Chain A
Amino acid sequence: MTLIGSSVKRVEDKRFLTGKGQYTDDIKIPGMTYACFVRSPHAHAKINGVDTSRAESMPGVVKIYTGADVAELNGVPTGWQVNFINGETMKEPKHPLLVADKVKHLGDAVAMVIADSYAEAKDAVDAIVVDYEPLPAVVNPKDAAAEGAPKVHDDLPDNMCFDWQLGNEKADVDQAIANAHHVTKLEFINQRVVPNAMEPRSAIGHYEDQNEKYTLYTSTQNPHLVRLLLCAFVLGIPEHKVRVVAPDVGGGFGSKIFHYTEEALVIWASKEIGRPIKWTAERRESFLTDAHGRDHVTTAELGLDAEGNFTALRVKTHANLGAYLSTFAPAVPTYLHGTLLQGLYTTPLIHVHVDAMFTHTNAVDAYRGAGRPEATYLLERLIDTAALETGMDPVELRRKNFIDAFDGVDQPGYQTQVALQYDSGDYHKVLDRALEMVGYEEFRKEQAALDNGKLIGIGFSTYIEACGIAPSAVVGALGARAGLFESAQVRVQPTGKVSVYSGSHSHGQGHETTFAQIVADRFGIPMEDVEIVHGDSEAVAFGMGTYGSRSLAVGGSAIVKSMDKVMEKGTKIAAHLLEANPDDLEFGEGKWTVKGTDKSVGFGDVSLTAYVPHNYPEGLEPGLDFSSFYDPANFTYPFGAHVAIVEIDKETGKVTLKRFIAVDDVGNVINPMIVDGQIHGGLAQGIGQALHEGTIYSEDGQLINGTYMDYVMPRADDFPMFEIDRTVTPCPHNPLGVKGAGEAGCIGSTPAVVNAVMDALKGYGIHDVEMPVTSEKVWNVIHGNS
């Protein structure tokens, strides 16, 4: 069988293609009510009163809750703790389920209306009068750090959640920068973007009194973690009485990892009112409340010697966390960002300092790539800028500083200056392949010869990322309040069919196909004989969910572990049936054979024997059903080379992406078609940030572009066909040799595009244009107005 490495068409497609997918909002439960929220129109305001009297008597209204009603309940917690440099614990203000006293960002929820129909709930929301006393707000994290800035939390005078540093001694880095032959410095904003999964978040709470059981259907990437947080921290309800189901989920990109207040409210209130409650976000609510991504204000400096060797890197970032801490927020600008600043380069001295700030904005947390895109952006922009400033070729500058190839088996992993040890890599190879695909020399000739009122430019980005998150002990030492293992149960049924219960969760990644390929390949059975079950805490023992490109590297490895146990026991049963020694058996094509003979017994016969153990090895338990928990030994480190070619119309400033070449190394590949799809999607999001996307908050904290009329989503005609390829450097520390492909595209692509724009504009004497690189900004550069 060669299912591994083959582009098997997805088994999950049919339900989506025929309109039979079941997303949370598609679920109806008899007696169900509908919830809508009263959300703050101010970024910062004191609440002097909430008048619900008129709304309460409106048709269909079942119940209205305000902040006062839930004041006794805990808020939603944070899953990661980062301490101040001086050792003090980070500041962790309560994130209440509904706000009673002071709203702290636009969209902060003040009241929840529950009614018989959605329309009635909406009508009642409009009839609630909140007396707000607006207060000054702060939206930029650097401004939040300034003396006298408006305070987000009254007891935090400096708006700081924590400060943090990583790397070599600061004094050594300072010294090296001071002594450098050349220093390239960039000050920029890695702008805030909105994840915009196409399925808006949705949650249904259903409490059944007769068996005291809670069920929560929710559009999450992470059902078990939601259950754990609900039970252990927010509501204190008994975990064995709570079922969390993540049915079909329409994309997540990070924004659905987290536990949100609405989930806690619908399940809590369902018990109070004795009816099921559904809430589904309107898109404008998604803009205001789905955790956003990025938002770093950064100063980065790269020191080079006269030959172009990197001598030191110094980074200072103000990271915006928003008003409240989302589930993984503290980890993103720190351990997922600072740890990646080695990039693919041998830079001997690195120091990063981060001030993590509260502002009057929506929470910021992991968004596709989470911290690694920010690290990659600053590094790769610095390098192309240094090339421009020193007159070196950006490709040569990279090559000169690349870490040499190492496989992590015969050669050890690469120890960085910023805590991580890379597993395996061959960085020249991806760059070579990308250059071959792009035709670099011809491009430069064409660029020099161009004379048609257009400018063209080429931009590079050679990135590394850390995914397959993550060894529990390591992340525990770094402040994670959860383990980051994965679980999988492989249940071989008596007829030899296999059910796999995975703690990973697919919201588009195609687990039902990829995982089935692994299982069918190992057992030598048809893929149709394998069913992958995920997303239901009642069916799956435990799970840590899908994010950080971890499903295959961690969740897939857990499946392998359980399959190992099945094979070990199956071999004993087969040996008994064949009256042979287990060591004399070999397994292939779905059967155990006594080596050198034609005596064999099939997988199905062994399965049946395990459940009908009449003729059975003495002392062996019946059944063929194993669970495993897999805790990875290290992160995995995919890498790649991305190249963008842009054309700029001098008349209008319009930037057109002409070509995009991506060569990624994600380790071994199970299903190339699915991996390609993951890369494509990541590229579009990364390019979206470079050219189109970004929130615009006014100074008083209004989100000016909080709808699809104003926030520029990348569309089909913004892209060329992507040109992608890959190299394969297997991961040495997991059984599948896989690294993870979910975020790579989004990590590498953004700086490549901006570098291409800067290359096209190199005659104009500027070194940076802020993202998103709009026509207006480019036009201003061309016309000398920057």
Chain B
Amino acid sequence: MHAKISVTVNGKVYERTVEPRTLLVYFLREELSLTGTHIGCDTSSCGACTVHLDGKALKSCTMLAVQADGCQVTTIEGMAQNGEMHPLQTGFHEEHGLQCGFCTPGMIMVAADLLENNPDPSEHEIREALEGNFCRCTGYHNIVRSIQHAAKRMQTATA
């Protein structure tokens, strides 16, 4: 009934036995107590559960934990490096890109994927990239600005 899996999350290897039907998001929250990844819906629509799987943004409610066997997962808890915030975390803070904070981890994870592939996105490209992520608090205005803020910082850092 149960399956043994090994998943690397935020650089740490976890070996666990899970029910095959366990969704990745439940595995992260319940099994690993990484509760920064949120559950906002039951139809894979809201994006609150977005993590990175092998470097690509993914809604962790759309995938079974067993499918992540052998994979690298990054969650919001893994975004700050050596005590230093990721530029997106800083951007959201500087531009007031969060209110209740519930959508925020998902927003940051999806934005990180966007900036990885498109370091200098237009406002329109940012808004399109956020299509699968709902925020009910901010009207998206400051989320867009937060991502622009981060993009600028990341470009100066690499320049």
Contacts and interface: CB of A to CB of B under 8 A. Distances in A.
B100 interface: yes
Contacts of A708: 41, 43, 45-46, 134
A455 B131 CA distance: 26
Nearest to A510: B99
Interface size class on chain A is 35 or more
A685 B137 CA distance: 9
Given A9-B93, A251-B136, A16 B101 contact: yes
Contacts of B26: 118
Contacts of B4: none
Contacts of B136: 196-198, 251, 253, 681, 684-685, 713
A28 interface: yes
A5 to B, nearest CB: 16
Contact of B34 (A19, A196, A685, A719): A19
A198 B21 contact: no
Interface in B132-159: 133-144
A586 interface: no
B39 A9 contact: no
A680 B124 CA distance: 18
Contact of A17 (B37, B43, B93): B93
B66 to A, nearest CB: 15
A777 interface: no
B141 A251 contact: no
B19 A17 contact: no
Interface residues of B, number: 58
A745 B139 CA distance: 10
A463 B43 CA distance: 37
A118 B25 CA distance: 14
Nearest to B130: A716
B77 A681 contact: no
Contact of B102 (A23, A676, A709, A717): A23
Given A19-B105, A715-B134, A722 B76 contact: no
A116 to B, nearest CB: 12
A716 B144 contact: yes
A721 B122 CA distance: 13
A284 interface: yes
B48 interface: yes
Given A9-B93, A684-B139, A200 B40 contact: yes
Contacts of B85: 17-18
Contacts of A118: 26
Contacts of A14: 93
A674 B131 CA distance: 24
B23 to A, nearest CB: 10
Contacts of A19: 34-37, 75-77, 105
Nearest to B33: A28
B94 interface: yes
Contacts of A18: 36, 76-77, 79-80, 85, 89
A534 B40 CA distance: 24
A282 interface: yes
A20 B36 contact: yes
B60 to A, nearest CB: 13
A189 B42 CA distance: 30
B35 A716 contact: no
A717 B39 contact: no
Contacts of A28: 33
Give the residue among B22, B26, B45 with the most A Cβ atoms within 10 A. B45
Interface string A278-291: 00101110000000
Given A198-B48, A283-B41, A677 B131 contact: no
A16 B100 CA distance: 8
Contacts of A284: 42
A673 B96 contact: yes
Per DSSP, are chain B's interface residues mostly helix, strand or loop, or mixed? loop
B19 A119 contact: yes
Interface in B85-110: 85, 89, 92-94, 96, 98-105, 108
A783 B35 CA distance: 51
A545 interface: no
Contacts of B134: 196, 198, 708, 713, 715
Contacts of A715: 127, 130-131, 134, 140
A745 B141 CA distance: 13
Give the residue among A19, A509, A674, A707 with the most B Cβ atoms within 10 A. A19
A248 B133 CA distance: 20
Given A681-B99, A715-B131, A722-B139, A13 B36 contact: no
B54 interface: no
Contacts of A713: 45-46, 134, 136
Contacts of A200: 39-40
A677 B123 contact: no
B100 A10 contact: no
B52 interface: no
A135 B128 CA distance: 45
Give the residue among B39, B131, B137 with the most A Cβ atoms within 10 A. B137
A249 interface: yes
A673 to B, nearest CB: 5
B137 A681 contact: yes
A508 B77 contact: no
Interface in B12-53: 19, 21-22, 26, 29, 33-43, 45-46, 48
Nearest to A196: B136
A717 B41 CA distance: 20
B25 to A, nearest CB: 12
B139 A248 contact: no
A198 B102 contact: yes
Contacts of A510: 99
B58 interface: no
A230 B33 CA distance: 31
B156 to A, nearest CB: 20
Interface in A725-742: none
B126 interface: yes
Interface string A6-38: 000110111111111111011010000000000
Nearest to B99: A508
A12 B102 CA distance: 13
A199 interface: yes
Contact of A198 (B80, B93, B100): B100
Given A198-B48, A715-B134, A719-B139, A250 B42 contact: no
Give the residue among A17, A20, A677, A721 with the most B Cβ atoms within 10 A. A17
Interface string A224-264: 00000000000000000000000011110100000000000
Contacts of A9: 93-94, 96
Contact of B131 (A13, A197, A508, A717): A717
Contacts of A673: 96
A683 interface: yes
Contacts of A676: 96, 142
Contacts of B126: 716
Contact of B135 (A17, A198, A249): A198
A283 B40 contact: yes
Interface string B113-129: 00000000001101110
Interface in A683-715: 683-685, 707-709, 713, 715
Interface in B64-85: 75-77, 79-80, 85
Given A198-B136, A283-B40, 4 more contacts: A16-B104, A17-B108, A19-B37, A26-B29
Interface of A: 9-10, 12-23, 25-26, 28, 118-119, 196-200, 248-251, 253, 280, 282-284, 507-510, 673-674, 676-677, 680-685, 707-709, 713, 715-717, 719, 721-722, 745
Give the 7 A-B CB pairs with smallest separation, nearest first.
Answer: A19-B36, A16-B101, A250-B102, A684-B139, A508-B100, A708-B45, A508-B99
26 contacts: A9-B93, A15-B101, A16-B98, A21-B36, A119-B19, A197-B136, A198-B135, A251-B99, A251-B100, A282-B42, A283-B40, A674-B96, A676-B96, A677-B99, A680-B138, A680-B142, A685-B139, A708-B45, A708-B46, A708-B134, A716-B127, A716-B143, A717-B127, A717-B130, A719-B139, A722-B141
